[in-house]
Amino acid sequence: MRFPRRLIAAALALSALLAASGCSAPAGTGERVLRIARAESFDGWDPDKASAYASYQTLQAVLEPMLRLNPDGVSIDPGIATRWESDPAKRRWTFTLRDDVRFSDGSPLTSADVAFSVQQWKAGPNYGGMYAQIARVETPDARTVRFDLSSPDASFPVFMTWSSSAIYPKGFGGRTARQFFAKPVGAGPFEVDRWSPGGRIVLTRSPHYYLPGRPHVDRVVIDVVEEDAETMFEAGQLDIVEYVSPLEASRFGDELRTLAPSQVEHLSLNRASRGLGDRRVREALAHAVDSDAIRIGAFRGKASAPSGILPPGLPGVVPPTVPMPKHDPALARELLRKAGAKDLSYEVIYDASNSTDVLIAQILQAGFEQVGVRLKLSGLETGTFIDRAYGHDADMVLWSFGAVSPDVVDPMSWFTGTSWLFSGLDTGPLLGRIDEYRRTADPAERERIVAAVQDAAVEELPAINLAQYSVQHAVKSNVSGFAPTPWGMYALDTIEVGRK
């Protein structure tokens, strides 16, 4: 649910990387290789521990869920399951599996594997709560899976597209969970050849994938690069550069693909920190933010003012009905005076490898200083940043997020999983609204609920909305079948790489 963390290896290693990439097919082999520069490090193969787009996308290439997302960002397509339907109350959902699905080791995928997988989803310490409504799973035959829910859920099929809903072989194929996630076996189009955290990932074509003729490449090589990815791209050493920074976008020319706005940049405010439990202080800080400087300076004019805390362009998103705070340093100082807030000093953490966030942090520091608030900038290594953010070990967290599926329940669930964007705001009222939302399929009623969530974000200010912007990928002209969703995720099995 979550915007990319910037490219991580050293530019000085560029020539060595090119020499060691192993991306070019040996002469005469005819091997088809897709070469990708990763814009963020990989969280590993356990979907419950994933927090980045790169991880979600890579997971689904190996550990496929039951349903697939359509690139239009609205529709859900058949996948492992060819059909799904519910009773009128939306409390019982029945899925019919394909009869020709096999895991990459050749073993057949059956309803028993799905039932086992559901147990793993629900047990996950991070995302398990999102599956709590699954009261019982029945498997009347090898191709039928029936979910009985504790409450109605019109959005249930959306959950079956998430990487956290991966299908595993029953009993992890006779291995422990730790052994399995070191080199997993899934029903996706690729299998794991080798990988390392934050380093190279090599995937090879699964000979048992259920879609005829797919995937179209034999191997996918994914590298994490810090700088000068455009040099490698121009030299033909890369086919795709993911999540291009606004600071570097112009270097890719006509081969840059800019998607629809889908991301929200935000500054989370930890209510446990001195002064931040006072709504007047939080509002003062919101008025101290120079949003124009962020959009024009950090995003190079490629961002716009946020229309709410929920990602733009997502089906069913409506704006808040209450006005959002605007840049007004004089009002910020007055609110701080009324709150009796003096000598305030905070630390903001962010991923130091994200060049855009580095600039945003500097702009925030200058704006806060103007109203008498000191801001310590702590740019951290990606893993340390994630650990501190999830551990609520910071006054403020600078990050961004988007959706991973075409339903507002997706980002709302992200809010609950992060204690309202790492703020510590009570998620009880939000959980109640999510439950209301999932119980109804009526568009007008859903819009009312979404507007209430937007309003609560303005009134409670768990986070300051800084900007909304688009994902950008660079794709070589000889690449076909690259079809990203509006938030930037794309299927690897549809891509073909032409021969020069």
% pLDDT > 90, the chain? 81
Average pLDDT over residues 292-296: 95
The pLDDT score that the predictor gives to residue 50 is 87
Query: Is residue 403 domain-resident?
Result: yes
Regarding whether 445 and 494 lie in a shared domain, the answer is no
Query: Is residue 182 domain-resident?
Result: no
Regarding whether 432 and 310 lie in a shared domain, the answer is yes
What does the pLDDT look like over 358-384, one tens digit per residue?
A: 999 999 999 999 999 999 999 998 878
What does the pLDDT look like over 185-238, one tens digit per residue?
A: 999 999 999 998 778 999 999 999 999 999 999 999 999 886 778 889 999 999
Regarding whether 210 and 347 lie in a shared domain, the answer is no
**pLDDT of 11 strictly over 50:** no
Query: Is residue 304 domain-resident?
Result: yes
Regarding whether 32 and 70 lie in a shared domain, the answer is no
Query: Is residue 254 domain-resident?
Result: no
Regarding whether 329 and 282 lie in a shared domain, the answer is yes
The pTM is what? Answer: 0.89
Regarding whether 130 and 40 lie in a shared domain, the answer is no
Contacts 24+ apart (CB under 8 A), 152-156: 152/89, 152/90, 152/91, 152/438, 152/439, 152/440, 153/90, 153/91, 153/93, 153/438, 153/439, 154/90, 154/438, 154/439, 154/440, 154/441, 155/407, 155/409, 155/437, 155/438, 156/86, 156/90, 156/93, 156/438
What does the pLDDT look like over 153-163, one tens digit per residue?
A: 999 999 999 99
* CATH number of the domain where residue 383 is located: 3.10.105.10
| Domain extent for 221 | 1-62+188-239+476-500
Regarding whether 417 and 281 lie in a shared domain, the answer is yes
Regarding whether 130 and 162 lie in a shared domain, the answer is yes
Asked if 23 and 225 touch (Cβ cutoff 8 Å), the reply is no
Query: Is residue 180 domain-resident?
Result: no
* CATH number of the domain where residue 98 is located: 3.90.76.10
What does the pLDDT look like over 15-73, one tens digit per residue?
A: 334 333 444 444 445 899 999 998 677 889 999 988 888 889 899 999 999 999 999 99
pLDDT level of residue 130 (50, 70, 90 thresholds)? confident
The pLDDT score that the predictor gives to residue 226 is 67
The pLDDT score that the predictor gives to residue 43 is 84
The pLDDT score that the predictor gives to residue 1 is 40
Regarding whether 23 and 92 lie in a shared domain, the answer is no
Query: Is residue 220 domain-resident?
Result: yes
The pLDDT score that the predictor gives to residue 126 is 85
Regarding whether 209 and 337 lie in a shared domain, the answer is no
Mean pLDDT of the chain: 91
- Structurally, how many domains does the chain consist of? 3
Query: Is residue 248 domain-resident?
Result: no
What does the pLDDT look like over 162-185, one tens digit per residue?
A: 999 999 999 999 999 999 999 999
Regarding whether 354 and 296 lie in a shared domain, the answer is yes
DSSP per-residue codes, 436-478: HHHH---HHHHHHHHHHHHHHHHHH-SEEEEEEEEEEEEE-TT
Query: Is residue 86 domain-resident?
Result: yes
Regarding whether 214 and 281 lie in a shared domain, the answer is no
